[in-house]
Structure 1
């Protein structure tokens, strides 16, 4: 890696609908001063970045001139308007306002996809069987505030990340209960996407359809983990089963024999509930193609800040192109 392509220190950000995570990269894949800011506490992304930079200014002897932002939103052109939060901005305008020479802004799951080849055994855990085929496409799906979907396609000795909005593809029910859930949600919302079920709000909708009661996703998860609420346990099982079905669909669509990764903020919190859930069985339940899918491994990402790895790789690539 040449010095021009790395150009430290660098600002990295992972911006979701609820929280924005920041770090300063001081050496290749060395992330320092990690901070998590609540998006609701700031009027704009620029204000959040300025607050973070102010908090770390004393620790940076060299001015930060290059940055990469992974954001939970489509990125197409200069203008970005978040769908899960009220922030909107011009990439060029934000770059100039922050006094940066380079600002790369990409979809958060594009960045997360670029992180996958860099994650080691301590940063991921395999769920179920299967073995990855080297140099083959890799899939990525992750529920959080919304549902992110992406993947990696090999190209020579490099990887090409897919900028996808697959979370908004139509959800296909896998059993009678999911038929009933989709029917109820269609009456309320019209189109029923995978994200409608596979997200924090989706857990709440599943629980409401199952029990008739409104309860927050955090409470549903907590009570399911405690084991004191059968409806909450069942809601998480339905959520995990639906996630397995969607992940299996992605494996088939991409031919992802390099494996499928599960990211996002929800699943790592489920612990043993996820391990014993219907996830893997539903992943493999693909009729005549079940033997094909059964050979594909699934991994849960347990690295707390994986998007930083991908944002760093994307920024390095952009800087290399400039030089």
Structure 2
């Protein structure tokens, strides 16, 4: 690769930037708070300016790929969980780029999954791993963070095709009486209650509120649960993990994700044993007659720090190889 390429993973809270000098060779990774910048263009410019000040040839960047926490269907992108709104073509011209690829962040994360090294994931529970030499199978992805991302990748010959999905907004379906009570409490507040309403940072806060009638922010809830300082917080996290297991099972059934189901996002990796020892895997498999089908599907927690960058890196060559 003769020139540096700009890669980014943009969520509702943070934007992660990197420069790539060769396939999978990331340098100068920096995380910027989205709230510190009025526009995405300002954040990109700030990152490239600092990279140049550190001696990198940021001025040579002509190709860029951005993963963003939002549907990407037309030229205009308006973020659901942040105020940034932009035209892809106008941003490309503003930044002096020849190519600007903008894709859904979970489609990019999904594209990384077939290429994750063993040390980039942690197996949760049972399931049967595919052995080398067997035909590739669909892989599913779910990830609670600022919102709830859902995606997957489908094998197509020697290629993988990532799915851009808004599956986090499907209607929440309770699986026990506690969850029925939570749903009834949220119906009065929101009307439609999506899976994202519960499986997100805000979701932790709403579960806690529905259980206790009190308000507490998500970091305080998870912190107290991890430290063993609050039974209510620990119960909140356990319910969250159980719901995640049910929704992950739904995604696996919908996609036929017999190649594995992966958990990403910013919340679950912080939970440690609260997650690995939770009801997640039991709820994943709890689908009645389809329980044995799901029992064969392995589930993994993504532990690689910046996996979406690997995904957009894999997607950009197809765009740059196409006629402009």
Tell me, yes or no, whether TM beats 0.5: yes
For 2:322 and 2:283, locate their aligned partners in 1 and report how far apart those are by CA, in whole Å: 42
1:27 aligns with 2:56: no
SS in 2 for 1:150: strand
Cα root mean square deviation, aligned: 1.1
Question: Counterpart of 2:88?
Answer: 91
Deviation at 1:321, TM superposition (A): 2.5
For 1:132 and 1:170, locate their aligned partners in 2 and report how far apart those are by CA, in whole Å: 31
Runs of at least 4 residues off by over 4 Å: none
Q: In the comparison of the two structures, how many residue pairs are matched?
A: 318
Deviation at 1:112, TM superposition (A): 0.3
For 2:62 and 2:25, locate their aligned partners in 1 and report how far apart those are by CA, in whole Å: 17
> Among residues 70, 76, 79, which one is paired with 1:79 in the alignment?
76
Indicate if the aligned counterparts of 1:128 and 1:297 stay in contact, CA closer than 8 A.
Answer: yes
Question: Counterpart of 1:18?
Answer: 13
Indicate if the aligned counterparts of 1:132 and 1:257 stay in contact, CA closer than 8 A.
Answer: no
For 2:306 and 2:289, locate their aligned partners in 1 and report how far apart those are by CA, in whole Å: 38
Matching of residues 163-178 of structure 1 within 5 Å: 163-178=164-179
SS in 2 for 1:93: helix
Matching of residues 126-145 of structure 1 within 5 Å: 126-133=123-130, 134-145=135-146
Matching of residues 191-230 of structure 1 within 5 Å: 191-230=192-231
> Among residues 79, 103, 108, which one is paired with 1:106 in the alignment?
103
The TM-score, its normalising length taken from structure 1, stands at 0.97
After superposing the two structures, state which structure 1 stretch, 154-163 or 194-203, moved more: 154-163
Indicate if the aligned counterparts of 1:22 and 1:36 stay in contact, CA closer than 8 A.
Answer: yes
SS in 1 for 2:29: strand
SS in 2 for 1:251: helix
Question: Counterpart of 1:282?
Answer: 283
For residues 255-276 of structure 1, the C-alpha deviation after alignment (integer angstroms, 9 at most, x for no partner) is 1100000000000000111010
SS in 1 for 2:20: strand
Question: Counterpart of 2:234?
Answer: 233
Deviation at 1:135, TM superposition (A): 1.0
Question: Counterpart of 2:4?
Answer: 9
Deviation at 1:7, TM superposition (A): 5.3
The TM-score, its normalising length taken from structure 2, stands at 0.96
Deviation at 1:57, TM superposition (A): 1.1
Indicate if the aligned counterparts of 1:129 and 1:297 stay in contact, CA closer than 8 A.
Answer: yes
Question: Counterpart of 2:121?
Answer: 124
For residues 30-66 of structure 1, the C-alpha deviation after alignment (integer angstroms, 9 at most, x for no partner) is 1111111111110000000000000001433361000
Structure 1, gaps ≥5 residues long: 1-5
Indicate if the aligned counterparts of 1:7 and 1:66 stay in contact, CA closer than 8 A.
Answer: no
Indicate if the aligned counterparts of 1:68 and 1:103 stay in contact, CA closer than 8 A.
Answer: yes
For residues 217-247 of structure 1, the C-alpha deviation after alignment (integer angstroms, 9 at most, x for no partner) is 0000000000010000000000000000000
Question: Counterpart of 2:56?
Answer: 60
Indicate if the aligned counterparts of 2:3 and 2:60 stay in contact, CA closer than 8 A.
Answer: no
For 1:317 and 1:119, locate their aligned partners in 2 and report how far apart those are by CA, in whole Å: 20
1:51 aligns with 2:77: no
Deviation at 1:15, TM superposition (A): 0.5
SS in 2 for 1:162: strand
Matching of residues 144-155 of structure 1 within 5 Å: 144-155=145-156
Question: Counterpart of 1:3?
Answer: none
For 2:176 and 2:113, locate their aligned partners in 1 and report how far apart those are by CA, in whole Å: 32
